[in-house]
Structure 1
Amino acid sequence: MNERDEQEPMRPEGMDDATVEAVGAVSEALEYVERARGHLYSFHQLMGHADLQLGEACDKLRDAGHEAVADQLESDIVGRNVLYGRWTFQIVEEFDDNYWSVFRDHERRVRDELQQGVRHVFEAEMKERRRTKGKAGHESRP
C-alpha cells in the first residue's frame, strides 16, 4: 500500500452515523436543486433562441409575401412573456435569489454546524468501504 492509499478520516470527531447520513441527505437534495437549476438555464437559453428564430421566421414569411401572417405571429408571440410579466431571465434571477442561494446558504450552515464544514463525509466513507485498497484505480486520493 502506498502513501496515497492512506486516507485520514474525514468524519469530525464524535459525529454519529445518523448525523452523517442526515447531512448527506441535505447535500444530496441541494445537488438535485443544482441539476434543476441547470435545466432552468437550459430552458432560458432554449426559449431565447426560439424567440430569435421565430423573429427570423417572420422575416422569411414577409419576404415570401405573407405580411399579414408574419405580423400576427410577430405581434402575438415574438418577445412574449413566458410567464405573466416575465421573460426567462427574470425567472432565472428570481429562482437564484429566492430559492437556490437561500438553500445553498442553509446547506453550508448545516455542514458548518454539524460537520465542521467538511463536505461529502457520507460519500467519502462510502468510497472507503467500496474501493479495493492497494489496487490501481482505487486510490483514496489523487
Structure 2
Amino acid sequence: MRSTPTPRMSRQIATFVVVGLINTATYYALYLLFLRWWPYLVAHVVAYLLSMTGSFFLNARFTYRVRPTLRKFLLFPLTNAANFLITTAGVYVAVDVLHAGSRFAPLMASAVAIPVTFVVSRWIMLPGAEAA
C-alpha cells in the first residue's frame, strides 16, 4: 500500500475539501434557517439530507469525475451513515452535555467527521481497483 497520495488522490483530497466547504456552508445556512421554526435536531436532519444531495452531485462531477448514477446516488447516503452518526452525536453532546449552544455545534461535529466521509465516499464513487 502506498504511503503518500498519488497526484490524482491529492487532487481529489483538495477538491473534496472545497466541495466540503461549500456543502458545510449550504448545510449551515439551511440549519440556521430551519432552526427558526424547528427544534435543533429536526433542523440538523433536514439540512443534512438536503446538503448531502448537493454533495453527491458536486463530488461526482468535480472530485471523482464520474457520471452520477442512480446506483451511486442510492449508495451515497449509506456511505454517509457514519458521518451522520458522528455529526448527530456530536451535535447532541455539544448542546445537551457540554452546553455549547446549538448555533455552532454542527460545525464542531462536522470537523470530526470529515476524514471518515472522504474515505467512504471515495470507496463508493470509485469502486474496485480505482479506489485502491
What's the TM-score, normalizing by structure 2?
Answer: 0.32
Which is higher, the Rg of structure 1 or of structure 2?
1
Larger fraction in helix: 2
How high is the TM-score relative to the length of structure 1? 0.31
